[in-house]
């Protein structure tokens, strides 16, 4: 059965050790972790990933930590999100987390709307105009039946993150002889590399960020699987004024405090 991560060390047998503690590497799917845990909890975004990863596997020594992400771009003029991400990546790199970046691609296309109700189609909502706005939306919807109207939208998407993460894990297993892995992700696109690692007799623990993700799929191919205990993240935050090992000060963005 799955357990809350933080209570599920890789040494699944629990036997007393009479040898040097083994080492594990950690691989974090930044986007999946953000969506599953951090997006609606800004007070947790200043997270010390090295400390957090060690807490998930307390009976092993932490080796390298890899954080897979993509540099975000301005969504609108004055968007502060890229600056906040830059500060966080600096904070992660200071104690030695390795940042592996894919690409952020801006997409622009026409997509079918999910509704033609005036109050739901846009945020902020369209004005009523004495019912004329809804009348116009309904008329457009009727004109394309049985299809739905399309709206032109722009959005950003990450490219290469999953491939990078899978490649680094397999590289470390084959080339660097890593035997123990921690994967933080609920993305089932990573099931195949997890399965390959287990077939190589590697120990691999998967920490799934959110209950809504497909934990059952990982149970079939990982050594151990658990849901991240969000209540324990508070104990692994950087100080608001973080001083790096080299003496540089990095300040937590005010929106995350």
What CA–CA distance (Å, rounded) separates 37 from 202?
27
Residue appearing with tokens 């009523």? 128
In this prediction, residue 74 carries a pLDDT of 83
Q: In this structure, what token pair is assigned to residue 170?
A: 């397999």
- Contact by Cβ (8 Å): 10, 62: no
> What is the full per-residue pLDDT of the chain (257 aa) written as tens digits?
445 555 444 544 455 555 678 999 999 999 999 999 999 999 999 999 999 999 999 999 999 999 999 998 888 888 899 999 999 999 999 999 999 998 877 788 999 999 999 999 999 999 999 999 999 999 999 999 999 999 999 877 777 799 999 999 999 999 999 999 999 999 999 999 999 999 999 999 999 998 877 788 999 999 999 999 999 999 999 999 999 888 999 999 999 99
Residue appearing with tokens 């080339």? 175
Q: Tell how strand 150-159 and strand 103-112 pair up.
A: antiparallel
Strand residues in the chain grouped as ranges (E): 3-5, 23-29, 61-69, 98-101, 103-112, 150-159, 180-184, 203-208, 224-228, 241-243, 249-251
Indicate the length of the chain as a whole number: 257
In this prediction, residue 12 carries a pLDDT of 45
């Amino acid at each position: 059965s799955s357990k809350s991560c933080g209570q599920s060390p890789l040494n699944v047998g629990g036997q007393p050790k009479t040898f040097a503690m083994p080492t594990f590497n950690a691989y974090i799917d930044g986007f999946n972790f953000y969506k599953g845990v951090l997006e609606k909890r800004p007070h947790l975004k200043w997270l010390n990933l090295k400390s957090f990863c060690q807490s998930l596997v307390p009976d092993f020594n932490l080796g390298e930590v890899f954080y897979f992400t993509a540099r975000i771009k301005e969504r609108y003029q004055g968007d502060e999100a890229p600056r906040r991400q830059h500060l966080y990546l600096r904070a992660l790199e200071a104690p030695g987390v390795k940042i592996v970046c894919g690409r952020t691609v801006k997409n622009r296309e026409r997509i079918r709307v999910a509704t033609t109700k005036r109050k739901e189609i846009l945020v902020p909502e369209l004005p009523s105009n004495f019912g004329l706005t809804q009348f116009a939306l309904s008329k457009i919807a009727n004109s394309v039946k049985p299809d739905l109207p399309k709206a032109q939208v722009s959005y950003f998407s990450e490219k290469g993150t999953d491939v990078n993460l899978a490649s680094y894990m397999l590289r470390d297993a084959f080339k660097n002889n890593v035997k123990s892995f921690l994967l933080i992700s609920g993305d089932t696109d990573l099931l195949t590399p997890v399965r390959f690692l287990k077939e190589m007799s590697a120990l691999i623990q998967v920490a799934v960020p959110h209950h809504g993700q497909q934990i059952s799929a990982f149970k079939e191919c990982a050594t151990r699987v658990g849901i991240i205990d969000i209540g324990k993240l508070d104990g692994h935050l950087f100080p608001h004024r973080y001083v790096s090992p080299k003496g540089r000060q990095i300040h937590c963005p005010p929106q995350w405090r």
